[in-house]
A = this chain, B = another copy of it.
Amino acid sequence: MFNFLPKEFNFFDLLEKQVGLAADAAKAFKEVVAKGAVSEENMKILQDIEHDGDDVTHTILEQLDKTFITPIDREDIHALAKELDDIIDMTCTIASRMKIYRVDHVDKYLVEFANIIEESVLGVTRAVKGMRNMKNVKQIYMACVEVNRLENVGDRLRDSALSDLFDNQKDPIEIIKWKEIYQEAETVLDICEDVTNVVESIVVKNA
């Protein structure tokens, strides 16, 4: 499907690199949550991933601008590159906020969010990698359906977490902190779903 693209610019290699960085970020975040706090080392790892993600995004967008005709809609590649980068950035943002807010423990909701984020990024990985061969269409769809399902699970988890927070936490400053953390965690899952929406759109157009 990408046969007409200049050989030196392999979208797939770059998109797979980026989705690999998103998986690294999800894994690093899960380690943060397992420990219950963010160390300097955790932040360093996440910032390096964020930086690499920016570089890959920049390369994709620049190559895209230089390439006159692509068999895939230009704006779809653009959206994919940006949204994969957003997964990484938002995951780093949660860790950064936890550090700034001096969070030194986590609750069952955030543990569950870290698991779901990891699963969802795995689904995104299967969807993006699947595009190398459009014969994988069924596998791609199954990955997209799974990411969509996890987004719904995340919505309900955020609602449960917020209910519990507003019912039981009496310290308004703790409410401010945790409301933001839960909402950002759910946003990662929204972005994962945005990625698979673009993948689905590419698949339909090329079917």
Contact = CB atoms under 8 A, between A and B. Distances in A.
B102 A166 contact: yes
Interface string A164-175: 001100001101
A42 interface: no
Interface stretch (A24-32, A61-69, A120-128, A131-139): A61-69
Nearest to A76: B65
A173 B172 CA distance: 6
Contacts of A163: 100
Contacts of A66: 204-205, 207
A154 to B, nearest CB: 14
A74 to B, nearest CB: 9
B96 A62 contact: no
Nearest to A61: B201
A177 B201 CA distance: 37
Tell me how many chains of this kind the complex includes. 3
Question: What bracket does the count of chain A residues touching chain B fall in?
Answer: 20 to 34
A55 interface: no
A201 B167 CA distance: 46
At the interface, is chain A mostly helix, strand, loop or mixed?
Answer: helix
A129 interface: no
Contacts of A205: 65-66
Contacts of A104: none
A100 B201 contact: no
A12 interface: no
A66 B205 CA distance: 6
Contact of A201 (B65, B102, B175): B65
A71 to B, nearest CB: 14
B65 A100 contact: no
A101 B75 CA distance: 40
A1 interface: no
A173 B200 CA distance: 41
